[in-house]
Copies of this chain bind each other. A is one copy, B any other.
Amino acid sequence: MTTDSLFIDACFGKPTPRTPIWLMRQAGRYMAEYRAIRANVDFWTLCKTPELCCEVTLQPIDAFGLDAAIIFSDLLVTLPPSGFDVEFVKNKGPVVHQPINSAADVDRLRPVDATDALAYVGEAVRVTAAALPENVPLIGFAGAPFTLASYLIEGGSSKQFMKTKAFLHQEPEAARRLFDHLAQVTIDLLKLQMDNGARAVQIFDSWAGCLDPEDYAVWGLAYTKRIVDAVRRPGVPVIVFPKGTGNYLNLVAETGADVVGVDWTLSLAQAREKVGPGVTLQGNLDPGRLLAPWSQLAPAIDRVLDAAGDGTGHVFNLGHGIYQYTPVDNVKRLVEYVQNTSGLRRSRGQ
């Protein structure tokens, strides 16, 4: 019943000889190879050029021997075909120039035929899956409705999500129409990626942690569960990662995810208590720790491995995307260390 992939097996809680590892945003600016590509193309062009997506997706696999790849793309690809253009502004991040300010603005949403409008994502996945070593599965991904809605309503990234919360509380009907749309395009995008060779999918709800547990149940859990149910296929694990939700990780597990992503504000042992057995945990090293010298980084890695019990049902990852200024050598040593020591721990029965 096991596969050729330690990562897939671990996602389903099967025993593996060692802990698999991949890193969120592992294809990115901390790598010179990535910066060399980006020197010639802007971010959107990169996202929309399947051969380049394939190239940057493979860069960290070639360099570090990670156990899974994640397709190079962006959470916000579903927004332009929905009728809301997104500009990536240097040193600022994504900007939606005509955001949703009122219930009427939700009428500006256009239905999306993902196989057409997002064909470039499907093609990137197809090309990349074919180029990867057989035992390195490709992960597809998309944004959860709350996080996507926050960009549409705030007009970009935010710290307090004041406008988003005001909209949810003051215009709940329009918000439901918005979330219905966003859930559907996320479902369609994830299916498109699976159709083209993604062997796992991750739903990012990057800003869900700004919600209290009651709001998360309504605007996070319910829509994410709808997505998980809709995309479920045998042998394809679904990972749900809503950052900042450590205090109500029990609700996150209720989405039905095979794998729950965990940030670094709680230990994996604490996370396990909250989600119970039968769910794999993915995480949870603070990406900031990768800025430390190895002498301090190694014990932090050990703490994560220690907190994962016997290691079954654990996919090693960071608690958020890797930082831009991360020394490449630390990444290399991290991957080697996790792969080696987790194997030694298991052979010793630790």
Contact indicator per residue, chain A 224-263, by CB within 8 Å of chain B (1) or not (0): 0000000000000000000011111000000000000000
A211 surroundings in chain B (CB, below 8 A) = 265, 286
Tell me the complex Cα distance, A292–B219, Å. Answer: 15
- Contact, CB under 8 Å: A165 / B288: yes
Q: Which residues of chain A from 145 to 204 have a CB within 8 Å of any chain B CB?
A: 157, 159-162, 165-166, 169-170
CB of A293 within 8 A of chain B? yes
- Contact, CB under 8 Å: B291 / A265: no
CB of A323 within 8 A of chain B? yes
CB of A296 within 8 A of chain B? yes
CB of A87 within 8 A of chain B? no
CB of A214 within 8 A of chain B? yes
A319 surroundings in chain B (CB, below 8 A) = 212
Known: A169-B292, A169-B296, A265-B212. A324 touches B246 (CB 8 A): no
- Contact, CB under 8 Å: A169 / B291: yes
Known: A170-B291, A292-B169. A212 touches B286 (CB 8 A): yes
A212 surroundings in chain B (CB, below 8 A) = 264-265, 286, 289, 300, 319
Q: Which residues of chain A from 204 to 221 have a CB within 8 Å of any chain B CB?
A: 209-215
A296 to chain B, nearest CB (A): 6
CB of A270 within 8 A of chain B? yes
CB of A41 within 8 A of chain B? no
Tell me the complex Cα distance, A212–B166, Å. Answer: 30
